Structure formats: structure tokens, C-alpha cells
């Protein structure tokens, strides 16, 4: 099963408390807004389209501002969606696409400093040197590890290698399968001990964490069974705490029912 995750490393808070004369106020930042840059669109076209089956929309930046008005948000943090930079592979062409994407986002953020920020795109993490180089580019003045940044990481899910690939033969994977990928990734981060080793990294799970809010106690509960617990990297109590420490965005996750 493949999970392409690409992370953004930029801001410290997504709901910000702002001290104002005579009291305090809040403003909202929408952290789940995907952008399609010209170079990213060209990479899609060269690859034959989105492998998840989702149609590629037009992306005008004005649509972001319209969306902020609709939701009552003040700022937006841009990112790219699946398949991310790996759509161009994991070699030099992918590194070039990644750099162009981040420069495009940076120019947009500079043009609208009161409205836009961005999660820096990264190459396929199997391209270790390319990923580290891009982190250095994004944080050129710090030159330190992600843990030292106390980074805020945004995790976007990807396709599931399942059969049938599309539910009912036509339903794009982002509708049902992406939230399941988020669930699996979050459980892996906790059960493998990654969250224990990176306590200063804050992580946003897309789509309310998929089914994690419903399944987290099943995961922590199974850790007390000796046959399972012998493989564990965290205790049941630690797992419960770490599940609560994720941030959960609410993109496409609310309904009247």
C-alpha cells in the first residue's frame, strides 16, 4: 500500500488569539486550501491526469479570497494536494518542480502578506537528499532539523492501492479512501514511536483525521494484549495522549446529519 505524504513546514498556530485594545479577539486561518501552480498543472498533464481519478480544476487565486469570505476566515495557508511532487518522479525533475512550486507560493504570499501563507512542498521523502535540500531552502536562515524548528506539519493523504481501485468503478479515491489513508498514517506515527521521538513537532491531520476519532480507543486498547503489546513502541496510555495531541482540520468533514 502506497502512501504519498508531503508536508508543509511554516506556521505555529492556525487559530490565533490576537490581543486588541479593550479585550481580545480571534481570527481564523484556513490551513486546508490546495493550489494548482502552472508547473504543477503541467506535471499533471504530462502524467495523464490525477491518478486518484479526481478531475483537475482551474485554480484562480481569487477563489481563495472568496472562500475566506464565505467561511469568515482571515488568512489562508496554501498547499498542494495528492499526488504532490512525486507526480514528477523522485529525481532531478521532481526537485525542480518542487523548487518552482515553493517559489510560486512564496511570491503569492509576498503579494498578499495579510492574506496568504503556504506550506512548503517537499519531494518524495524517499529522495532524502532532495528533501533535506528543500527544507534548507525553505529555512535558509536556520539550517536546523525539523524537530528544532518546533514545526507545524500538514499531512495530506494519497491513493490506496486496493482492488477495485475505484468504489463502484467510478468514485474518485479522495471521497472515501483518502480519509482512511489519514487514519492509517496517524496510527502508524503513534504506534511506531515516531510521535514519541518528535514531541516538538505539531501535526495537522486532514479531514478530521479520517476515522481516527472513532477508532483511536480500539488502537490504544489492543496494546494491552500481550501478543500485540510485545511489539509496541508506546503504552496504551501514551497512545491515547498522542492521539489527542494531533490537530484535526475539518475540511470536507461536516454535514447536516
- Report pLDDT digits (tens) over 152-180: 778 877 777 888 888 888 888 888 888 88
In this prediction, residue 99 carries a pLDDT of 93
Residue that has been written with the C-alpha cell 489527542 in this structure:
244
- 165 and 140, same structural domain? no
What's the domain count of the chain? 2
Note the pLDDT of residue 30.
84
Regarding whether 213 and 255 lie in a shared domain, the answer is yes
The more confidently predicted of residues 160 and 146 is 160
Residues 122 and 171 placed together within one structural domain of the fold: no
Last-in-domain residue among 146, 174, 198: 146
- Rounded to an integer, what distance in angstroms lies between the CA atom of residue 168 and that of residue 129? 40
- Measure Cα distances from 47 to 40, 41, 44, 104, 227 in Å: 11, 10, 5, 21, 45
Q: Which of 146, 170, 193 is the last residue of a domain?
A: 146
Q: What is the CATH number of the domain that holds 110?
A: 3.20.20.140
Q: Look at residue 165 and give its three-state secondary structure.
A: coil
Percentage of residues in the chain with pLDDT exceeding 90? 9
pLDDT of residue 35: 87
Report the alpha-carbon distance of residue 131 to residue 134 in Å, rounded.
5
Tell me, yes or no, whether 53 and 77 share the same domain: yes
- Please say if the pLDDT value at position 96 is more than 90: yes
Domain shared by 112 and 169, yes or no: no
Range of the domain at 96: 1-146
- Predicted TM-score (pTM) of the model is 0.56
Cα distance between residue 131 and residue 136, in whole Å: 9
**Residue of 203, 173, 174 whose CA lies nearest to 187:** 203
In a domain, 126, yes or no: yes
Burial class (CB within 10 angstroms; exposed 0-12, middle 13-18, buried 19+) of 25 = exposed
pLDDT at 233 over 90: no
Task: Answer yes or no: do 25 and 129 share one domain.
Answer: yes
Q: For residue 179, is it within any domain? A: yes
**Considering the chain, what is the average pLDDT of its residues?**
78
Amino acid at each position: 500500500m502506497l502512501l504519498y505524504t508531503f508536508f508543509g513546514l511554516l506556521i505555529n498556530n492556525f487559530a490565533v488569539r490576537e490581543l486588541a485594545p479593550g479585550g481580545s479577539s480571534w481570527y481564523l486561518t484556513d490551513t486546508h486550501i490546495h493550489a494548482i501552480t502552472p508547473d504543477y498543472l503541467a506535471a499533471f498533464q504530462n502524467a495523464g491526469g490525477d491518478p486518484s481519478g479526481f478531475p483537475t480544476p482551474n485554480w484562480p487565486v481569487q477563489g481563495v479570497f472568496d472562500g475566506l469570505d464565505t467561511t469568515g476566515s482571515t488568512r489562508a495557508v496554501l498547499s498542494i494536494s495528492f499526488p504532490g511532487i512525486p507526480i514528477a518522479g523522485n529525481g532531478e525533475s521532481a526537485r525542480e518542480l518542487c523548487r518552482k512550486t515553493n517559489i510560486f507560493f512564496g511570491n503569492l504570499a509576498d503579494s498578499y502578506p495579510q492574506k496568504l501563507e503556504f506550506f512548503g512542498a517537499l519531494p518524495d521523502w524517499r529522495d532524502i537528499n532532495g528533501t533535506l535540500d528543500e527544507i534548507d531552502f525553505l529555512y535558509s536562515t536556520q539550517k536546523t532539523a525539523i524537530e528544532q524548528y518546533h514545526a507545524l506539519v500538514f499531512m495530506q493523504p494519497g491513493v490506496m492501492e486496493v482492488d477495485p481501485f475505484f468504489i463502484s468503478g467510478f468514485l474518485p479515491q479522495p471521497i472515501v479512501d483518502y480519509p482512511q489513508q489519514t487514519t492509517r498514517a496517524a496510527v502508524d506515527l503513534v504506534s511506531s514511536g515516531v510521535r514519541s521521538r518528535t514531541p516538538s513537532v505539531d501535526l495537522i491531520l486532514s479531514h478530521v483525521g479520517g476515522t481516527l476519532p472513532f477508532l483511536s480507543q480500539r488502537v490504544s486498547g489492543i496494546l494491552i494484549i500481550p501478543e500485540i503489546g510485545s511489539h509496541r513502541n508506546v503504552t496504551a496510555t501514551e497512545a491515547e495522549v498522542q492521539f489527542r495531541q494531533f490537530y484535526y482540520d475539518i475540511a470536507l468533514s461536516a454535514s447536516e446529519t
